[in-house]
Amino acid sequence: MEYEYKVLFLDIDGTIIKPDHTYTESTKEAITQILKSGMEVFIATGRPIHEVKNLAKELHIQSIIGQNGALAVYNNKTIVEEPMNRKQIERFLDIAKENSHELILFTNEKNYVTSMDHPKVQYFLETFQMNNNAIFTEAVIERILGVTVMNVDPEQTALYEFEDKIRLSQVNVEGNKHAYDIIRTNVNKGEAVKKVLQYLQISKEQAIAFGDGMNDKEMLQAVGESFAMENANPNLFQYAKYKTASVTDSGIYHGLKTLGLVK
């Protein structure tokens, strides 16, 4: 059965954006063609929405899923908002303190860090070009939408997975392998995609997604046509229907071309 595709979900880092913080011309051209065809396009990222608005504007994308699915905006209307549990955050802070880890905690306005001076924190903020940063204080604890933990060894990730509903996802960007997003099994990109599809009354089969990190796992399972970038975390390929070219070789363009959606 043939389906008319109606919506496209795109991760940013390692999917749209190359390691040098730019995107290929054919990536932008593919997105432009999709928008002109009348399809909806969403950025779906681990980054907070306030940090990706400029990129969205450049690409003429008006709808964003941010902070790994904790917040979703469709044409300036918020359709998903899922702050983290205060007790969970307090536990994350305690574990980080006991083990000399650092946290970055995201709200819809700012990125709050446990240290401004730690080199791994500085490197993370530079890598993701995050500008709206401040030191974390208890005053914002009720508004936290997501958390990334840094300076963590792989064998220490289990410390944070103290509940069945929490898993850690390694940040799939060069030089940040010590950083992990804390993902909620009931709040993630995939769950946000499902809510967007329901809101727009679009079927799973009419949706397409591209990603490269393990935080994209649920999103790729929530759509009919899923693509893992060639540069993806190797563990992600099993969750994608297709493997496309790398981000540096315009994987989005090549994937959409195989579906006959771009020229």
Fold of 86-184: 3.30.1240
pLDDT digits (tens, 9 = 90+) for 203-217: 999 999 999 999 999
pLDDT band at 177 (very low <50, low <70, confident <90, very high): confident
Q: Does domain 7-81+187-258 have CATH number 3.40.50.720?
A: no
Please say if the pLDDT value at position 175 is more than 90: no
Q: Tell me, what's the pLDDT at 176?
A: 72
The ranges assigned to domains in the chain are 7-81+187-258, 86-184
pLDDT band at 1 (very low <50, low <70, confident <90, very high): very low
Give the CA distances from residue 101 to residues 33, 89, 114, in Å, rounded to whole numbers and listed in that order.
44, 14, 9
pLDDT band at 3 (very low <50, low <70, confident <90, very high): low
Q: How many CB atoms lie under 10 A from the CB of residue 70?
A: 26
Q: Tell me, what's the pLDDT at 32?
A: 97
